[in-house]
Copies of this chain bind each other. A is one copy, B any other.
Amino acid sequence: MKLYTYFRSSAAYRVRIALNLKGLASEQIAIHLQKEGGLNRKPEFRAINPHGRVPALAIDSGDVLIQSLAIIEYLDETHPQPPLLPRDPVERAKVRALAQVIACDIHPVNNLRVLTSLRTLFGAGDEDVVNWFRHWVNEGFQPLEKILASSPETGTFCHGDTPGLADICLAAQVTNNARFGVDMAPYPVIARIHAACMALPAFQKAAPQNQIDAE
C-alpha cells in the first residue's frame, strides 16, 4: 500500500494511526500542501487522485481510496484485529458520531484551505484565523466533553479501554490544536484520552513531527 500524506494534515494523521494500530506497513509519499501553490494541485497527483487531497491510500488492487474515515473503515473491515469499532450497532453509531463531531463539525471548517480563504476573501489576519480555529474547536469540544464525561462507555479511551475510530480523530485534532493555542483546561476528559493515546507507539509514530516530510 502507498499512503499519500502530508505531515500536518489531521486527516492523513488519522490514517497513519489506523495503519499503525493494525500493524500494516505502507510506503509513505509526501504531498506538500503549501509548496508551489500546493503539490496536491499538480496534474501528476490529480492523475492518481482526482480528488486532489490527502490522505489517499493506493491499495494492491490498483484502487486509490480517499477520505480518511472511509479509508479507516476499509482497513477495519479488511483487517478486523484489533477492532476500531465496537460490534453492537448502537455502540458503533456512538463511536462513529464522536469521530464525526471532530471529522465533520470541527476539522473541515478549520482546514488549511478554509483558513487561507478567510485571509484572501475577507482579509483575515493571524489573530482572526486563530480565533476562528479556536471557536470551532470549542463548538465541537464542548458537547464532546459533555458526552464523554457522562457516558458509561467512556474508559481509558472514548469507548472502553482500547483505542478506536473516535480516539484516532480525537488524538489528531488535539495534537493539531496545539499550533493554535487551544486552551484544553475546559476539556479534562478529552485531554486525558489524548494523553492515553499519545502514550501508545501507534499514535506517537504517526504524529506530524515524526513524519518524513516534517519541517
> Which residues of A come within 8 Å of B, CB atoms?
50-53, 59, 61, 63, 65-67, 69-71, 73-74, 77-78, 89-90, 92-94, 96-97, 100-101, 103-105, 107-109, 111, 113-114, 117-118, 121-124, 128, 132, 135, 139, 143, 146-147, 150
In the complex, what residues of B have CB within 8 A of residue A65's CB?
Answer: 90, 93-94, 97
In the complex, what residues of B have CB within 8 A of residue A94's CB?
Answer: 63, 65, 70
Which chain B residue lies CB-closest to A91? Answer: B63
The reply to whether B50 and A67 form a contact with Cβ atoms under 8 Å apart is no
The reply to whether B96 and A104 form a contact with Cβ atoms under 8 Å apart is no
The reply to whether A93 and B105 form a contact with Cβ atoms under 8 Å apart is no
Which chain B residue lies CB-closest to A63? Answer: B90
Of all A-B residue pairs in the complex, the 9 with the closest CB atoms, nearest first, are A70-B96, A122-B122, A74-B93, A108-B108, A67-B100, A67-B97, A70-B97, A77-B89, A51-B143
Copies of the chain in the assembly: 2
Contacts A100-B67, A108-B109, A124-B122 given; indicate if A59 touches B146 (C-beta within 8 A): no
Extra inter-chain contacts (8) besides given A74-B92, A74-B93, CB under 8 Å = A50-B147, A51-B143, A51-B147, A66-B101, A69-B96, A71-B93, A117-B135, A121-B128
Query: Smallest distance from the beta carbon of A64 to chain B beta carbons, Å?
Result: 10
In the complex, what residues of B have CB within 8 A of residue A96's CB?
Answer: 67, 69-70, 73
Q: Complex Cα distance A44/B100, Å?
A: 23
Main secondary structure of the interface of A (DSSP, over half): helix
The reply to whether B104 and A67 form a contact with Cβ atoms under 8 Å apart is yes
Query: Smallest distance from the beta carbon of A8 to chain B beta carbons, Å?
Result: 18
Q: Which of B59, B67, B147 contacts A101 (CB 8 A)?
A: B67
Query: Smallest distance from the beta carbon of A115 to chain B beta carbons, Å?
Result: 11
Which chain B residue lies CB-closest to A51? Answer: B143
The reply to whether B104 and A69 form a contact with Cβ atoms under 8 Å apart is yes
Q: Complex Cα distance A139/B116, Å?
A: 14
